[in-house]
A = this chain, B = another copy of it.
Amino acid sequence: MKDVFDYVDRHAPRFVKELQAFLRQPSISAQGKGVEDAANIVERMFSSLGAKVQVFRIEGAAPLVTAEIPGDQEKTVLFYNHYDVQPPEPLDRWRHDPFGAEIDGGKLYARGAADNKGDLMARVKAAEALLKVRGKLPVTVKFVAEGEEEIGSPNLDRYAKEHPEAFRADACIWETGGREEDGRLELTLGCKGLCYAHIEVEGGSYDLHSSLAAVVPSPVWRLLWALNSLKNEKEEILIPGFYDDVCQPGPEDVELIEKLPASPERLAKLFGIDRFVLDLAGKDVLKRLYFEPTCNVCGLSAGYEGPGSKTVLPSKAMAKLDMRLVPDQRPDDIARKFEDYLKVKGYGDFRVTWLGAEHPARTDPNSRIVKVIREASAELFGKEPSVYPTSAGTGPMYQVAAQFGTPAVGVGIGNPESRVHGPDENVNVSDFLEGIKFMALVLERFAG
């Protein structure tokens, strides 16, 4: 691979400039800013590889930009990425312009640098390097780049169902990832699923004087009682059937956890907490983090929230709830069980709006792509990656890969200081360039 790596080194300044230009294009899906312009840049990036580019559209949705470059063999690798970014707010917390793409001390600062324009660019440049040096790719490469990942990929499943040929592959390289503190590559083999509920409860037609609380039913209390019935102080989720389809982790999954370098005690310090739930410690924290579903309250609102006292019986109350799912829980099934339970408990009048639904997905640790990544990491970086049986977070891995039977693995160019979704998001320029080489090597080795 020396020839390909040399090409990367020679063209490194240009690759960095191209990434900077891409990062300077805002593409904030949550705010509808610059998304279409970013899609055009991605389309040109893919076209410059000589790929067969297709831009699929759904009305009102960001376009799905796809590309295919036929390769040497019958094997196909799919790169899933997104060209949208999180909002940069709060702006006053940035030391660098979020869309300035400045390089400072070897770091490239921009919203999207780590999540995940840097990864997308690294993959495009890996393909370019292989194409320029070898004349063709060792495997067929597909790109799927969506523009709504940061708002929950609301249209991705429809895109996938309407254009399955753009998604089918023998392996999928997931959007992003990073390094451990000790420099090892992180390799992630799944995503949790998600059910996101917005719950509104109504009482009287207007806020009443709180002296009436003796006799007027309070929507706040009713919400509190209903939420309380969802999870007890032992952190057990009480929705009947919630755990029915939870697959217990296999011995290989547990073994992966045992090998992870993460120190929960350091995490606790970082988060400013003095204990984990159930007073868990060590690897038990990680096992729960990766293998257990959750029921979390993201937001609560009712009545008077300002300073001082106001004696009011609120006429409505609101909660936002997210449940992270693990295989083989299904979001539609969990949503139904949730609503049924509310009804049984006497809260059938609550207005529940489902703002997100994702299937969980998990990749077999014995998949060929996992083996290839492990070996490529040892070859290029001199170290085996640390392998996570799943992310604790959620992504559309089911829609993109699992529903087509494609094993998917998450790797990327970030690092523990990349501040993904935060102010001063950044990547190391060197990690970007190494990421190009790594992806070229993975494609080469996947060909076998």
By a beta-carbon cutoff of 8 Å, the part of chain A in contact with chain B is: 151-152, 192, 194, 196, 198, 203-206, 208-218, 220-221, 224-225, 227-228, 231-233, 264, 271-273, 275-277, 280, 285, 288-290, 292-305, 308-315, 317-318, 320, 322, 324, 346, 355-356, 391-394, 421
A116: shortest Cβ distance to chain B, in Å? 16
**Cβ-defined contact, B299 with A305, below 8 A:** yes
On chain B, the residues within 8 Å of A198 by CB distance are 309
- B296:A210 contact, CB within 8 angstroms: yes
Cα distance, A294 to B212, chains bound together (Å): 9
Interface centre among A192, A231, A273, A293 (most CB of B within 10 A): A273
Q: Which residues of B contact A304 (CB under 8 A)?
A: 298-299, 320
Query: Do residues A214 and B273 form an inter-chain contact, with CB atoms below 8 A?
Result: no
Instruction: Please report the C-alpha to C-alpha distance between residue A378 and residue B239 in the assembled complex, in whole angstroms.
Output: 61
* Closest chain B residue, CB of each to CB of A306: B299
- 19 contacts across the A-B interface (CB closer than 8 A): A151-B308, A192-B211, A196-B311, A211-B294, A211-B391, A211-B394, A212-B271, A213-B324, A214-B288, A214-B392, A217-B276, A225-B228, A298-B313, A300-B302, A300-B305, A301-B305, A303-B320, A308-B355, A309-B356
Q: Once the chains are docked, how many angstroms separate the CA of A308 from the CA of B227?
A: 19
Query: Judging by beta carbons under 8 Å apart, are A212 and B309 in contact?
Result: no
Main secondary structure of the interface of A (DSSP, over half): mixed
Is B224 a contact of A297 with CB atoms below 8 Å? Answer: yes
Measured between beta carbons, the chain B residues less than 8 angstroms from A297 are 218, 220-221, 224, 302-303, 314
Q: How far is the CA of A151 from the CA of B307 in the complex (A)?
A: 12
Chain B residues in 8 Å Cβ range of A220: 297, 300
- Given A214-B292, A272-B315, A301-B301, 13 new contacts (CB under 8 A): A152-B309, A211-B393, A212-B271, A213-B295, A214-B290, A221-B231, A221-B297, A296-B313, A299-B310, A301-B302, A301-B305, A304-B320, A310-B320
Q: Closest Cβ of chain B: how far from A243's Cβ, in Å?
A: 14
Give the nearest-CB partner of A192 in chain B: B211
Query: What's the Cα separation between A393 and B213 when bound, in Å?
Result: 10
Provide the residues of chain B in CB contact with A273, threshold 8 Å. 203-204, 216-217
With contact pairs A204-B271, A273-B203 given, residues A309 and B280 touching in the complex (Cβ less than 8 Å):
no
Q: CA of A301 to CA of B400 in the docked complex: distance in angstroms?
A: 37
- Tell me the bound Cα distance from A133 to B213 in angstroms: 47
Q: Are A318 and B296 in contact (CB under 8 A)?
A: no
Minimum Cβ distance to chain B for residue A317 (Å):
7
Give the complex CA separation of A216 and B296 in angstroms.
10
Tell me the nearest residue of chain B to A285, going by C-beta: B215
Report the nearest B residue to A280, measured CB to CB.
Answer: B215
A314 partner, pick from B298, B308, B346, beta carbons under 8 A = B298
Q: Is the CB of B217 within 8 A of A277?
A: yes
**Chain B residues whose C-beta falls within 8 Å of the C-beta of A276 in the assembled complex:** 215-217
Q: Which residues of B contact A300 (CB under 8 A)?
A: 220, 300-303, 305, 317
Q: Does B214 contact A324, Cβ atoms closer than 8 Å?
A: yes
CA distance in complex: A233, B392 (Å): 35
A205 and B274 alpha carbons, distance in the complex (Å) = 11
Top 3 A-B pairs, shortest CB-CB distance: A205-B272, A213-B296, A211-B392
> Do A299 and B312 contact each other (CB < 8 Å), given the known contacts A212-B289, A324-B210?
yes
State in angstroms the CA–CA spacing of A311 and B393 once bound together.
10
Query: A194, A209, A210, A214 — which one has the most chain B CB atoms within 10 A of its CB?
Result: A214
Cα distance, A294 to B288, chains bound together (Å): 40
Expressed in whole angstroms, the minimum distance between the Cβ of A426 and any Cβ of chain B is 18
Task: Give chain B residues whose Cβ lies under 8 Å from the Cβ of A227.
Answer: 224
Cβ of A341 to closest chain B Cβ, rounded Å = 15
